[in-house]
Structure 1
Amino acid sequence: MPELQRAPEVVADTAADAAAVPPSPVELVRDAYGRLAREDEAYVRLARIRADLDGTLTAEQVTDTLMELRRAGDVSLIPEENQKTLGPDDHAAAISYGNQSRHLIAADGRRVDQLLAAQGTPPPSVETASPTVEPNPYPTATTAVPDTNEGMVVDTQTVAERLWNVEPVDFRPGTEILVPSGAKARVSANIDALRTLAVVTAQDRYATADEQAVLARWSSWGATPQVFDPRRDDWTAEREQLRTLLDDTGWAQAQRTILNAHYTDPAIAAAMWKATIRAGFTGGRVLEPGCGSGTFIAHAPSSAQMVGVELDATTAAIAAALNPSAQIRGEGFEKTTAPASSFTAAIGNVPFGDYRLYDPVHNQAKHSIHNHFIVKSLAMTAPGGYVTVLTSRYTLDAQNQRARRDIAALGDLVGAVRLPSTTFRRVAGTEVVTDILVLRRRADGAKPAPLTERFLQLENATALDDAGEDKGVPINAVYTDHPE
C-alpha cells in the first residue's frame, strides 16, 4: 500500500493579515509623536500632531485619543510656559482640562523602532550569508522632498538629520565683537538671523553650529532705528524684507526695541564675570534680567545655571537657540515672579531710561527702569550672593538718594568702575557714561558696610565742560574717595 503523503501546511501570510488591519487611533497618535519628537520624551506641539494626522483622524478622534492616553498615564500634556510664542493654530489645537489649556505633549518614549510602516513600503530585506551578494549602499533612486527654505530638493536622510540629529550645544564665542559695524551691515546681519531663526523654528529643532554663528551676529534695533522710519527711502528695501519676516506682533516689538536694545561688548561681559568670580561666586542659579541675545550667558562659567529674561520675543528665541542649556523666559522683567533668594547671583546689562514699569511687588517706589532692575535682582538673590550690573551713571550720581537707599537696604557695594562714554560705540552704536557695580546681598538685619554708606553720598568734583573750562559737578562719593 503506497505511503500516504502529508498535506502541505498552509502558512498564514502575517504581513498581508497585518496590512489588512488598520492601525488604531492610539497607534496613529503614537506614530505621529514618534516621527515629530526630536528625542525620546521631548515635548511636541499639539498643533503639529493634529496637522500630521489631518485627513487620517478627525479632530474629535485626536482629542479623544489624547485623553485616553493621558488617563492611561502614557503621555504628559502641559501648557506652553511662554504664552507669547503661541499662534492661532496652537490655541485651536489645545486640549483643556483642570482649568488650563494644554499645548504640548510628551509620550513615554518615541517608539521610533515601532513606527508604522509607510503605505507601499516593501518588507525589509533579509540578510544572507552569501559573500557575493551585498546590499548596494548607493541606490539608484532615493525619495526626495522639497526643502522649502532653500528652494532645493534634498534626500530624506538630510532632512532627518536636521530634524533628529542636531545636538543641543551652547554657543561659546571669544571676546571679539561678532556684530558687524555700519548700519547697513547690522541690518543685513539681523535679517539673516531672522531667516535662520525662522528655519530652526519651523523645523522645531536645535540650531546647528553654522546657524548659531549667523544668529550670534544679531544686534536688535537700538543702533538702527532708521530702518523703521517710513520717511527714509534709503531703507525701503530692508524695511520691506523685515515686514515679510515679522508678523504684526513681532514688528511692533521690534519698533519698541529701538529705545534701549544696546548690547554689551563681549570683553566687558567676560570681565564682569571675572569680577563676580573674584568676589566669591562659586556656582548655582544665576539670573540675567534683560538678557538680550545672551552675551552674559555665553560667557558664564560652567558652574552657573543661567536663567535669562528678555521682553522681545524674537531676541528671546535667538538667545534660546544660542544657549539651549539656559532657561530663557520671554517676558518683561517686571512680570517675572520667583521666590525671594531664588538665585545665587545676578549679572547683566540692565536697560537704561527715565521711565518706569509697573511692578507692584518690586517697584512700589516707582524707580526708573535701571534702578528697578537692580533692586529686584537683589531681592531675588540669596544673602551672600553677588549682583554684578552694568547701569546708567545716574544710579550713582542722581541727586535724589531714594534709589540708592533702596539698593543699600538690600545689599552692600563691593566695588564700582566708571566706563568712558565711548565704551559702547562699536557694539551698541551709542555713547553713554556707564558704571559697573558689584553688589553683595546682605543678610536681613546686618549693618551696611562703610563703602555702602559712602555709596549714598555725593561730593563735588571738577571737570572740563565742552568749552574746556573747569566746572563743578556732583559725583558719587565712592569715586571721589577712590579716584583710581
Structure 2
Amino acid sequence: MGKADRKRWDGNVRSMAIVAKPREEITEEDVQFLRENYTSTGGLLPNAYAGGAFYTPTHVARFITEALRGLSGGSFPPGSRFLEPSCGSGVFIEHIPEDAEITALELDETSAKVTSLIYPHANVTQGDAFLHSRRGYYDYVIGNPPYGVSIDVSAAELPDVFETLRITKGRAKGKSECAFIELAIKAAKPGGYIAFVLPKGLNYANYAEKIRQLLYNTCWHVATIGLPGETFALTGTTIPTQILIVRKAPPGTPLIPSAEIRWGSNFKRGGYEDITDFGAKFLAGQPPAYFAEVTDIGYDKAGRSTDRWGDGLTQLDDLLRDFTDDYLMRSNLYPHIPSWHSVKDVSAFMFSHANDTCDGYRDASRTYADGPYRWNELTLGAGTEIAWDGAEVSTFDFTWQDRIVDAYYTQTAAELPEAA
C-alpha cells in the first residue's frame, strides 16, 4: 500500500470511529473531517469487497449538477426532486440546492451515516436501492452507481419487474450498472433528467444490450462525455468512464424514421451513404446527439496537477458553456455521420464508438487539438422538417421535446377526475 492509499485508509478508519460515536458527541470538526477525508474502500480492497464503490471526484459531480442546471434554464426550480440512488459520501448532494427535495440511498451503513451527518437536509436512507418504490416521481436522478459487481436481491421484495435482472431460485441477479440505469428510468418522471457516470463497457458489451435498448426506447439522448482513465485514479481505478445524460420521454412517444436518407462522410470517398439502414428510428423530439471527449481531467494518473494556467479549472468547465449555448448545438458543429453506423446497431447511438471510422471524433480531434473534443452526430435530421401533430417541425428545434412533455401533462391533467 502506497503513501496515498495509506492516507486514505487512515482517513476511513478515523471516519468509522467518528460515526460510531453517539450523535450528540459528534462535533463540527468531526463532520468537517468526514467531508474532507472519507472515501470508502474503493481501490483499497478487491472490488467484490468494496462493492464497486469508487467515489466521484468533486469537480465531476459539480460538472454534472451544473450541466443539469444549465439544461433547466440556469436554475433548478424550488422544490425540485432529486434522487441519488447510490450516494456514497454525498458528493453530488454538495452541489444541489438545499431547498430541493433530496432522496439519497446508500447500501453501505458507514457511508449512509457519513452522508446524513454532512447533509442533514437530505433524506438519507440506508438500504438496498432496488427496494425503493417511487416511480415517475423525480425531476433529476444523478450519481455514480457501482459497476463491475453483481446485484443479488430477493425477487419477492422488488416493487416491480426489472428487465435487466434475471430471476434464479427466487433471487434477482444482474450487472449493477445496468440495473441502476433501469432504476433511474423507473424513478424519473416523464421529462425528468438522468445523469450518471458509467463505464465505457456499456457502449458495446453484450451484457448491456438490454439496457441500451431500454434507453433507446424510453429516453432522449442529451449528451455523452468520455472521461480519461485517470479520472478515478485517486480512488483506485483507471476504468474508462463516461458521463451519460438523458431525458425520460413521456410514455407513448413514438420512434420515427430519420428525415435524412443519405449523409456524407468527410473522410471517405464515394459520396453519400445510406443512413436509414438497420431500422434507424429515433424518438420524436430527439435532437442531434452531442458527444465530447475530455483529454485532461486536471491531474495525471499519479495525482499530479496538470493545471497549466493555475486557475483550478478543467476541460469539464470548458464544456459547461455548451449546456447553456444553443441547446448543445454549436454553430460550427454540424451533425456528422453517426458512429453507430459502423456497428450496425442504432440502439447504441447514445454511446459513441470513437475510433478512426467515426467522423465526429476525427474532425473534433483536429479542430480541438488540445481538447476537449466535441461533436454532434446525426439522428432525425440536420434541420430538415418533419410533420408532427399537424405542423412541420425542424429537426434542429430543441423545444420540440418540451412541447411533447407539456402535451403529455396537459392530457394527463385533463384525464384526472374533477375534484368534488
- Alignment TM-score > 0.5, same fold: yes
What is the correspondence of 1:264-275 to structure 2 with a 5 Å cutoff?
A: 264-275=56-67
Alignment-derived partner of residue 11 in structure 2 = 189
Moved more, 397-406 or 189-198: 397-406
Alignment-derived partner of residue 253 in structure 2 = 446
Scaled by the length of structure 2, the TM-score of the pair is: 0.56
Alignment-derived partner of residue 214 in structure 1 = 33
| C-alpha displacement of 1:408 | 2.3
Structure 2: how far apart are the matches of 1:301 and 1:318?
Answer: 19
Q: Deviations over 1:324-357 (max 9, x none)?
A: 000111011112222x212111110011115344
Alignment-derived partner of residue 260 in structure 1 = 52
What is the correspondence of 1:340-419 to structure 2 with a 5 Å cutoff?
A: 340-353=135-148, 355-358=150-153, 360=158, 361-366=160-165, 367-399=174-206, 401-419=209-227
Letter in 1 for 2:203: L
Q: Contact 2:87–2:106 at 8 Å: present in 1 too? A: yes
When residues 307 and 458 of structure 1 are mapped into structure 2, their CA distance, relative to the original with a 3 A threshold, is farther
Task: Say whether residues 1:320 and 2:121 are aligned partners.
Answer: no
Task: Say whether residues 1:459 and 2:342 are aligned partners.
Answer: yes
Letter in 2 for 1:364: E
Structure 1: how far apart are the matches of 2:210 and 2:120?
Answer: 39
Structure 1: how far apart are the matches of 2:131 and 2:16?
Answer: 26
Letter in 2 for 1:311: L
Alignment-derived partner of residue 321 in structure 2 = none
Q: Contact 1:362–1:376 at 8 Å: present in 2 too? A: no
Q: Secondary structure of the equivalent of 1:219?
A: coil
Q: Contact 1:455–1:476 at 8 Å: present in 2 too? A: no
| C-alpha displacement of 1:452 | 7.2
Letter in 2 for 1:274: E
Structure 2: how far apart are the matches of 1:365 and 1:319?
Answer: 28
Structure 2: how far apart are the matches of 1:456 and 1:325?
Answer: 43
Larger radius of gyration: 1
When residues 288 and 482 of structure 1 are mapped into structure 2, their CA distance, relative to the original with a 3 A threshold, is farther
Q: CA RMSD in A?
A: 3.0
Q: Deviations over 1:70-116 (max 9, x none)?
A: xxxxxxxxxxxxxxxxxxxxxxxxxxxxxxxxxxxxxxxxxxxxxxx
Structure 2: how far apart are the matches of 1:430 and 1:195?
Answer: 26
List gaps (5 residues or longer) in structure 1: 1-179, 227-254, 461-473
Structure 1: how far apart are the matches of 2:238 and 2:111?
Answer: 22
Alignment-derived partner of residue 268 in structure 2 = none
| C-alpha displacement of 1:430 | 1.1
Scaled by the length of structure 1, the TM-score of the pair is: 0.49
Q: Secondary structure of the equivalent of 2:10?
A: helix
Alignment-derived partner of residue 323 in structure 2 = none
| C-alpha displacement of 1:303 | 4.4
When residues 278 and 206 of structure 1 are mapped into structure 2, their CA distance, relative to the original with a 3 A threshold, is farther
Q: Deviations over 1:51-74 (max 9, x none)?
A: xxxxxxxxxxxxxxxxxxxxxxxx
Identity of aligned residues (%): 23
Alignment-derived partner of residue 282 in structure 1 = 76
Alignment-derived partner of residue 27 in structure 1 = none
Moved more, 348-357 or 428-437: 348-357
Q: Contact 2:105–2:126 at 8 Å: present in 1 too? A: yes
Structure 2: how far apart are the matches of 1:322 and 1:482?
Answer: 42
Q: Contact 1:421–1:433 at 8 Å: present in 2 too? A: yes
Q: Contact 2:223–2:289 at 8 Å: present in 1 too? A: no
Alignment-derived partner of residue 306 in structure 2 = none
Task: Say whether residues 1:311 and 2:107 are aligned partners.
Answer: yes
Q: Contact 1:459–1:476 at 8 Å: present in 2 too? A: no
When residues 475 and 315 of structure 1 are mapped into structure 2, their CA distance, relative to the original with a 3 A threshold, is closer
- Larger relative contact order (C-alpha < 8 A, sep ≥ 6)? 2
Letter in 2 for 1:348: G
Q: Contact 1:412–1:451 at 8 Å: present in 2 too? A: no
Alignment-derived partner of residue 131 in structure 2 = 335
When residues 362 and 411 of structure 1 are mapped into structure 2, their CA distance, relative to the original with a 3 A threshold, is farther
Alignment-derived partner of residue 295 in structure 1 = 91
Structure 1: how far apart are the matches of 2:68 and 2:177?
Answer: 19
